Amino acid sequence: MKILVINGPNLNMLGRRDAEHYGTDTLPAIGRALTEKSKSLGCELTFFQSNHEGAIVDFIQGNADEADGILINPAALTHYGYSLHDALLDAGLPVVEVHLSDIKAREKWRQISVIADIAVKQISGLKKQSYILGLEALVEHINSGEKK
């Protein structure tokens, strides 16, 4: 089973961002924790991070055919990324949306996700653990054979 793990703008700066919201783990550290988890879940991860919405759309278009699911932290694109939304929809794969911070407890504009309607699940507010639980939920969903 192949999973695309996608991170949006500014997540390359984790470790230097507001620790109260995002924790202290760097993106490579989160990647290592996911890779460790993937061994017990029996899946293979392909990682991608970009600060550019178009680059993420290109990555999804170029890799969706070989993948079984997408784990994504769209970062600020969560709140306005309509072309990202459409690329995820067109990919036709199950999507789990994750956030380090609890977006529902933050500014009004962060409480809106334009991705949520196409995600099978949204996990928010558990810092690094959001990704781990997100990966588990995605693999479980794929294994269940349920349609997107």
> Distance (Å, rounded) from C-alpha 26 to C-alpha 139?
24
99 catalytically annotated: yes
Told to check if 10 binds ligand DQA by CB under 6 A, we report: yes
Annotate 100-129 with b (16+ C-beta within 10 A) or e (fewer): bbebeeeeeebeebebeeebbbbbbbbbbe
Q: Least distance (Å) from ligand DQA to the CB of residue 101?
A: 3
Question: Of 21, 99, 131, 141, which is the active-site residue?
Answer: 99
CB closer to ligand DQA, 11 vs 43: 11
Query: Is 26 a residue that touches ligand DQA (CB under 6 A)?
Result: no
Binding-residue total with ligand DQA (CB under 6 A)? 10
Q: How far is the CB of 110 from ligand DQA (least distance, A)?
A: 4
Site for ligand DQA in 71-110 (CB under 6 A): 73, 75-76, 78, 99-101, 103, 110
- Catalogue the active-site residues: 22, 99
